[in-house]
Amino acid sequence: MPYKKISYKKILYYLFYPILYIIHLFFNSILHIRHWLYDKGIFKSYQFSNVYTICIGNLNLGGVGKSPHTNYLIQLLKPHYKIAVLSRGYGRISKGFLVVDPHHHFSQTGDEPLMYKLKHPDVVVAVCEDRVKGIQEILKLYPDTQIILLDDAFQHRRLKAHLNILITEFHHPFYEDQLFPLGTLRDIKSSCQRSHIIVFSKTPENTDQSEIQIRENNIHKVCPNKPIFFSEIEYLALYHIHQPSQKINIFQQLYQYNCILVTGIAHPEPLAIIIKEYAQHFYHLKYPDHHRFLKKDFDLIKDIWKEWQKKYPPSIIITTEKDAVRLKSFATEHFNIPIFVAPIEISFQTFSNTFDNKIINYVRTNSTNCSIHSK
């Protein structure tokens, strides 16, 4: 019989399973009680009716692609409405409400809010742990705001958004997962019923229609009668971190380069696969999600690049837009190191081209002009 190797992580998982299961049961009970208290009105939820709120969220601990979907909604809505973006500002050292400025350091704002502001300097971006207070502050400072996009606020039950968009990964849908610590869910599966729209992210380009149908059927078992959409990633031309006009087309020019990919995001695999496919030589230096790069990290990146530049010229460093926000201060000190940023966008064209109309119709038919009230 062939020998099947068991990973170290699996051995630890099975060894500590009884403890993990007890924690899982405790976490599950706490979440059910919390949702029951909100559903019965014992804990109050607040809904603003003088501004339209759209929540982009998920049920997982890891990233599912909320940031590019938030960016997509910014691009979709800002030509027609006065919009703002409100985020918790994960990983920031500041507290309370803060309006993000392009000159802020990411440690003050969190990497994602600063990334939104740099991409959309004309849009109000703010951070606040308390989303209700955050919205109140935005409306005080910018009373003409019509829509507020709530980045990662699906579990923030104190605020009741007008439109909840739930994102789940195509290859790792929430209905196949388990609650932490047995899985990666941070909320119970039935919470999906509070959503108004469900989006499968990172859908492969050549997905068979039968695969689409399977996922739609599975969603409808736990969350019936919800509109379902499928988005895919589009990889744009790489741009130089200091000179954005200097670009490299991944599909037409990357074969000329040897690439060191540096990432500190939850799921870098799709980007890594693309870069590896088109680059001459490829190396991936992977850090945890939201990793706060230190000087020692950049020294390592620099040393690897110098070694590669001698061995495989020309060599370049590639990173994501979110990582670029955290790397830029170090990169400025080493201007001669070629660091390129890999921007991505999402598209609904292949699988569900009515998404835009659905969002616009929700906003048009559900917007009102009243004051805040409790539900």
> If you average pLDDT over residues 192-212, what whole number do you get?
94
Structure-token pair, residue 191: 């919470």
Share of the chain above pLDDT 90, in %: 85
> Please, are residues 51 and 147 in contact by the beta-carbon 8 Å criterion?
yes
> If you average pLDDT over residues 21-50, what whole number do you get?
95
Task: Please determine, for residue 5, whether its predicted confidence score (pLDDT) is greater than 70.
Answer: no
For the chain, the first-to-last Cα distance in angstroms comes to 63
Residues of the chain with CATH 3.40.50.300: 46-233+350-374
CATH number of 46-233+350-374: 3.40.50.300
> If you average pLDDT over residues 289-307, what whole number do you get?
93
CATH number of 237-342: 3.40.50
Please provide the average confidence, as pLDDT, over all residues in the chain: 92
Summarize pLDDT for 221-260 with one digit per residue, the tens: 999 999 999 999 999 999 999 999 999 999 999 999 999 9
Summarize pLDDT for 107-131 with one digit per residue, the tens: 999 999 999 999 999 999 999 999 9
DSSP state of 236: -
Report pLDDT for 6.
60
Report pLDDT for 1.
45
- From 27-31, 346-350, 361-365, the region with the lowest mean pLDDT: 346-350
Phi then psi for 340, rounded to 5 degrees? -115, 145
Summarize pLDDT for 140-155 with one digit per residue, the tens: 999 999 999 999 999 9
CA dihedral 197→198→202→208, nearest 10 degrees, is -110
* pLDDT confidence band for 16 (50 / 70 / 90): confident
- Cβ burial, residue 318 (10 Å; 0-12/13-18/19+): buried
